[in-house]
Amino acid sequence: MHIQITHLRRLSILLLVLVFCLGLSVACGGGATPETAVPAEEGADAVADQPTAAEPAAEEAGEAETAAGSIRVSSVAGAMHDVLVSLAAKYMAQNPNVQVTVEGEPEGGIFQALIAAGNQPDLVVTSLGPALGQMASDDALIPLEGLPDFQLLLDRVDPAIVEQFSGHNYYIPIGADVTLMIYNKQLFEEAGLDPENPPQTWDEYLAAAEAIDNLGDDIYGNVFWNEALAWGGWYWNMLQPIYLNGNQGQCQLVNRLGTDITFDNPDCQMEAFFGFTQAAQRFAPLTMETNFFSRKIGMWPQYGYSWEPNLETAADRPMVIGEDVGVAPVPVLSEGDPSFTTYGGRALIIMKTTPERQSRAWSFLQFLMEEENNRQFITELGYLPTLISLQEDPYFQEPARQMFIEVLQNGMLPQQFSTAETVANEVQAVYQRAVVEGELTPEEAVTQAAERARAALEGQ
């Protein structure tokens, strides 16, 4: 076992710092390094790059009322920002009377402050998940169904990735992601495991993790992204496939109305979830400072398709799926059970401003969802298609991508209620104590998570 008490104390301090930093940016201004990897589109500073002459500063473009003929687009900094700048240039060439400014994604309280000041962007590329429901409940978004040709666009999108809130369509999914398990074939061989027969059940997974962990002090059986526990409820989407596999997709965190928790029902197997992750953490580093791409990790059951670009920057040389990296469904509780996954990805939303600004944002949204432009966005950033027409594209028929396409049949959208965010945060706080720090039994973890979650819901 690699967990040391001193390391746990350091992690606790680190997480406290991260919570503080979240008030400023989602990643505390830290970019990816060879030791710490994040998805390609999130791998640069969460603070926007300094704008160039072709990209007016947000302070200049972001007056309370955007100038006529302009669009402000909010994007994650880094690769996504660059792709959107490229697409914006193409759009402006076709629409010379419109100026498109791509600016850094406002986070947390900063976003709310912009809305309160009437200084919000027009179009936001955001994550699927409860933050969407929160903004809809705050009356910050416009329903899209009343806009011209909305139904024509919606009919081109995979319906499995679309969900209404309060009877309205508030988003269009621009790129999808799903969670699977990847594993290091070389470490499997060195541990005497069959690299063509990855673990299918939780028990097999734990046995494989222990065998790999025994290879040496700097080798770990598996890894979890524990730093992200403090970064908001979106991280539950990466843990949730394990939970869903325990209850076979019968339970999420809250009920269908978002009014109460469901995970404390014994049939939901939350206790089994805590027990499995607690056992797996014994063979994992405390943080992603040692990550899968370092070649020192046996398995990672939280690999999303959007992490594919990180394989190119792996230690020593690129890692290749099918050769030195295997891809498999997330293991299940019982042999023969189907494996579930959760949808991640990005959605386009239009902020509530003025009819003129909303109309221009809708025009640019439609442009981004044109097949050629959408293909550029998803292939350059590592997403799966949301347009039905692109699902048969030869690019996505390559063997390394087929596993991700196939698993979509058991894909589930994250719960997108504002209350789901509240509950996920409370579950993750208990996960930190129970799994990372080992201070609670699985039974105690479920009890405390339920108490905290219900108290948080009552306080809203």
> Residue 69: left if φ>0, alpha if ψ -120 to 50, beta else—which one?
left
Residues 291 and 431 in one domain: yes
pLDDT in tens, 122-150: 999 998 887 788 788 888 999 999 999 99
Contact criterion met (CB below 8 Å) for 247 and 253: no
**Span 185-200, average pLDDT:** 98
Q: Do 182 and 166 share a structural domain? A: no
Least confident range from 318-327, 402-411, 432-441: namely: 402-411
Local confidence band at 224 (pLDDT 50, 70, 90 cut-offs) = very high
Half-sphere exposure of 446 (CA within 13 A, CB side): 18
Q: Give every CB contact of residue 415 below 8 A, 6+ residues apart in sequence.
A: 130, 252, 253, 254, 258
Give the domain-ending residue among 380, 404, 428. Answer: 404
Residue 13 is part of a domain; what is its CATH number? 3.40.190.10
**Judging by beta carbons within 10 Å of its beta carbon (0-12, 13-18, 19+), is residue 64 exposed, middle or buried?**
exposed
Q: Are 397 and 107 in contact (CB under 8 A)?
A: no
Comparing 145-149, 228-232, 314-318, which segment has the lowest mean pLDDT? 228-232
- Answer yes or no: do 192 and 321 share one domain: yes
208 and 286 assigned to the same domain: yes
364 and 312 co-located in one domain: no
Q: 364 in the Ramachandran plot: left (φ > 0), alpha (ψ -120 to 50) or beta?
A: alpha
Question: Residues of the chain with pLDDT > 90: what percent?
Answer: 65
15/55 Cα distance (integer angstroms): 35
Is the domain of 192 the same as that of 317? Answer: yes
Q: Are residues 122 and 201 in the same domain?
A: no
Rounded to an integer, the average pLDDT of 175-182 is 93
Per-residue pLDDT band at 65 (split at 50, 70, 90) = very low
In a domain, 274, yes or no: yes
Does residue 109 sit in the same domain as residue 205?
A: no
**Res 311: pLDDT:** 93
Q: Are 214 and 5 in contact (CB under 8 A)?
A: no
Say if CB 48 and CB 81 are below 8 A apart: yes
Angle at 186 between CA 238 and CA 435, to 5 degrees: 35
Residues 314, 187, single domain; the answer is yes
Residue 159 CB contacts under 8 Å (≥ 6 apart), including other chains: none
**Residue 186 sits in the same domain as residue 163:** no
Alpha helices by DSSP H, listed for 5-61, are 5-21, 58-61
- Which residue in 302, 332, 339, 325 sits closest to 195, CA to CA? 325
Residue among 375, 429, 332, 285 nearest 90 (CA): 375
Alpha-carbon distances, residue 73 vs 21, 111, 351 (angstroms) = 24, 13, 10
Domain membership of residue 222 (yes or no) is: yes
User: Over the chain, what is the mean pLDDT?
Assistant: 85
| Contact residues for 224 (Cβ-Cβ < 8 A; gap 6+) | 239, 277, 280, 281, 284, 302, 435
338 and 360 both lie in a single domain? no
Please choose, from the candidates 394, 459, 395, 378, the residue with its C-alpha nearest in 3D space to the C-alpha of residue 422.
459
Range of the domain at 97: 40-177+346-404
Asked whether residue 94 is assigned to any structural domain, the reply reads yes
